[in-house]
Amino acid sequence: MGADPNLADGADGNNALHHVCKMGEGNDHGLADMIFGNDDYKPLPINAQKDKGNTPLHLAVKSGASNMVEVLLRHGADSNATNEKGMTPLPLLCKKYDDSTMLNLFLRVNDELGRPVLIDALDNKGKTPLVWALNRHNIHSAEVLHRLVADPSLGMPLNRICDYGDHWVELFFDIIDGRNLEPHLLLRRSLECGNRNSTELLLRRGGDPNLVNNVGMTALHLICEDHNVDDRAQRFFAIIDEIGQRVLINAQDTKGNAALHLALPRGHRDLVELLLRRGSDPNLANAEGSNPLHVICKRNSDDNLAELFFDINDEIDQRVLVDARDNLGNTPLHLALSRGHIDLVGLLLSRGSNPNLIDAEGSTPLLVICKRDRDDGLMKMYFEINKELDRPVQVDARDELGRTPLQLALTSLLPDAIDALLANGAALPRALPSVDDFRLRFNPKKYNENYVKLRIASGILVVIKCLYRHGYEMDRTDALKIMKLFADFGLYEKSTSLEKYWYDDEKFAGKSKETMIMPSLSLYDLIQLSPKEAAKRVAPADYFKFACSMKWDKFTEEHGEACVVYLCEKLSRRFFLGWALECFMELIHYRLPVLCCDMIIEDLNNQDLCNICLAAGDRSS
């Protein structure tokens, strides 16, 4: 007698037939003939469920053994038997393969044998074979099932059909023609996928353009938030007009955004014009209190979109509220100034924006300018435009913390802004900002440490010069405050005898030669200059411009820090020598001539010069 093909092994309960069905295409045919050849005297339980409830037919389908699939079917295998997951062999075919050959074989043999296949059987997850085919992007298998009139509304996420493009949506409607299925269920997904023909088809078949998704977005929202909007909006409205539908153009999503709010940040000029001419409200506020003009002013680009916005609203006789405040009290002017949009600021002022309105923190537009990092002439331009428009600007208005624009500009180290404020009537300060003021302004969590050091060292000297031009008289108290500022921010070199090994480090040297302080002088060349020569060729203002534009992350932390401290020592050398000379002569009771005193202190570093000034201050107190 031969071996018993029904005997199950101890590992997984599989018999010989189960094992053969796992072997895959090409390894199954001979063994199948041998096993089924003994069927007359040893009947095989062909639908035995082992291995997680799988029958031999399940296993043959999973392994791709098409010959075995046909043999099993012709020997009575149950095409609708389910495994532990509730899956018949059909969803396994659709889940695994996008080649419809085996699926067609499976369906053909069952048809020949007169055995119905449950096309729409649901598994334990509630999915049909068609759903599995779509989820796995098995388009060919899905098309075969569609043509067998599988129920497309049964257990299937209908929007997945739109993932495959226009052809699939058209095919879908061909098959379900006459069924009671609402096309708006597919419309949103079609728009998200950019399926132009299917979108048109769905609208013409009754898709609701005002239906919202889970975040309140309509079809028009989806069009407007797309970065590649092309002419979809024009086509959308053309179809809407043709079929006599009405679009709620000012419908707001859960964030309060209408379609116009979404089109503006992306700079879709044609779309913005279309929406405005179609009735979009230019003053509608979202949940943050931002109207479309706020949205324009928040953009990183100053590309004349606001000018288009105003022009279109002028043409259609719609008034734009230029001074509307958002939830933080910001007007569009506040936002445009904070981003440095010079042309946009000019446009807003010419359109009637109030130059003195305050936000929730009590900040006027002037105070907003003074909170910026960049010193790019915006303050001067602001005064010039308002002067042309005959609009007075309150130069000494204070915020909720009692700070004037000049005080903020001093703390932010904005020499051009300071110059413009003083030239337009701001009162000179009584004192310079404190170390704590600078610490608060240049938060180390926000700024690169080397950037802060060089900006403060150079900026404070440029600011002092600016104040001096406008009549500010600096005294020793101010000088000591600046020297203490250097100490607090670690701007002193520890010793002139330190080894300057970082000068000639190969990597540092290479990068510093590519880094320009000014067109005729590289960072590497500047480092090689003596303090006297450096003072002749490079002014504090040049260091300040360099500090504001430099990207210190190109250097290692060690090299960057050493370089910055060295530059701070050089750029402030003349300032320290000037005050130390006066203090030194005072300490020695003027017993030596100026030239001798100058020679004595010339080789001292800034830390030592500071100590001389401190000693003189202690003696005079």
Helix (H) or strand (E) holding 393, with range, is: none
Q: Contact at 8 Å (CB) between 195 and 219? A: no
Question: Residue 29: inside a domain, yes or no?
Answer: no
Q: Contact at 8 Å (CB) between 356 and 405? A: no
pLDDT of 573 reads 93
Question: Residue 452: inside a domain, yes or no?
Answer: yes
Distance CA 111, CA 106 (A): 9
Task: Report in angstroms the alpha-carbon separations of 598 from 574, 581, 613.
Answer: 12, 6, 14
Q: How confident is the model at residue 32 (pLDDT cuts 50, 70, 90)?
A: low
Total domains, the chain? 1
Coil, helix or strand at residue 517: strand
176 pLDDT exceeds 70?
no
pLDDT of 581 reads 96
Of residues 611 and 444, more confidence is placed in 611
384: tokens are 């010039």
Taking residues 130-153, what's their average pLDDT? 73
pLDDT of 30 reads 61
**25-29, 282-286, 470-474, 606-610, range with the lowest pLDDT:** 25-29
Distance CA 263, CA 107 (A): 50
Question: Residue 555: inside a domain, yes or no?
Answer: yes
Distance CA 491, CA 484 (A): 10
125 pLDDT exceeds 50?
yes
Q: How confident is the model at residue 208 (pLDDT cuts 50, 70, 90)?
A: confident
Give tens-digit pLDDT for 304-319.
Answer: 999 999 999 999 999 9
Of residues 198 and 412, more confidence is placed in 412
pLDDT of 29 reads 55
Q: How confident is the model at residue 496 (pLDDT cuts 50, 70, 90)?
A: very low
- Residues near 230 by beta carbon (within 8 Å), at least 6 away in sequence: none
Please tell me the total number of residues recorded for the chain in this structure. Answer: 621
pLDDT of 426 reads 95
Helix (H) or strand (E) holding 276, with range, is: helix 269-277
| Residue 381: closest CA among 413, 410, 352, 423 | 423
pLDDT of 63 reads 86
177 pLDDT exceeds 70?
no
End-to-end C-alpha distance for the chain, whole angstroms = 120
pLDDT of 124 reads 92
Question: Residue 519: inside a domain, yes or no?
Answer: yes
Coil, helix or strand at residue 433: coil
Question: Residue 496: inside a domain, yes or no?
Answer: yes
**10-14, 398-402, 514-518, 617-621, range with the lowest pLDDT:** 10-14
State phi, psi for 517 to the nearest 5 degrees.
-75, -40
Question: Residue 19: inside a domain, yes or no?
Answer: no
Q: How confident is the model at residue 551 (pLDDT cuts 50, 70, 90)?
A: confident
Which amino acid belongs to residue 453? K
Q: Which residues pair with 518 in a beta bridge?
A: 521
- Residue holding tokens 């979009």? 280
Give tens-digit pLDDT for 581-598.
Answer: 999 999 999 999 999 999
Distance of CA 345 to the CA centre of its chain: 25
pLDDT of 498 reads 44
Q: Contact at 8 Å (CB) between 152 and 132? A: no
177: tokens are 């023609």
- Residue holding tokens 């931002």? 290
Q: Are strands 516-518 and 521-522 parallel, antiparallel or unpaired?
A: antiparallel
pLDDT of 196 reads 57
CA atoms within 13 A on the CB side of 430: 1
Q: How confident is the model at residue 503 (pLDDT cuts 50, 70, 90)?
A: confident
34: tokens are 């041998």
**135-144, 477-486, 572-581, 583-592, range with the lowest pLDDT:** 135-144
Distance CA 353, CA 367 (A): 16
Q: pLDDT averaged over the chain?
A: 86
pLDDT of 41 reads 39
198 pLDDT exceeds 90?
no
**31-35, 58-62, 231-235, 239-243, range with the lowest pLDDT:** 31-35
pLDDT of 131 reads 79
Radius of gyration of the chain (CA): 39
586: tokens are 């005072």
Which amino acid belongs to residue 91? P
Taking residues 217-242, what's their average pLDDT? 84
Question: Residue 149: inside a domain, yes or no?
Answer: no
**11-20, 244-253, 319-328, range with the lowest pLDDT:** 11-20
pLDDT of 185 reads 58
What is the extent of the structural domain holding 592?
A: 440-620
Give tens-digit pLDDT for 36-49.
Answer: 766 553 567 788 88
Task: Report in angstroms the alpha-carbon separations of 124 from 84, 85, 354.
Answer: 9, 6, 65
506 pLDDT exceeds 80?
yes
**3-7, 316-320, 552-556, range with the lowest pLDDT:** 3-7
Taking residues 427-455, what's their average pLDDT? 92
Give tens-digit pLDDT for 70-123.
Answer: 989 998 999 999 999 999 999 998 887 666 788 999 999 999 999 999 988 899
Nearest 5°: the CA angle 264, 269, 274 is: 95
| Residue 478: closest CA among 601, 599, 578 | 578
- Cβ–Cβ contacts within 10 Å for residue 335, how many? 24
| Residue 601: closest CA among 577, 579, 572 | 577
Question: Residue 560: inside a domain, yes or no?
Answer: yes
Handedness of CA 169, 174, 175, 176 (dihedral sign): positive
| Residue 341: closest CA among 382, 384, 393, 402 | 382
Of residues 72 and 1, more confidence is placed in 72
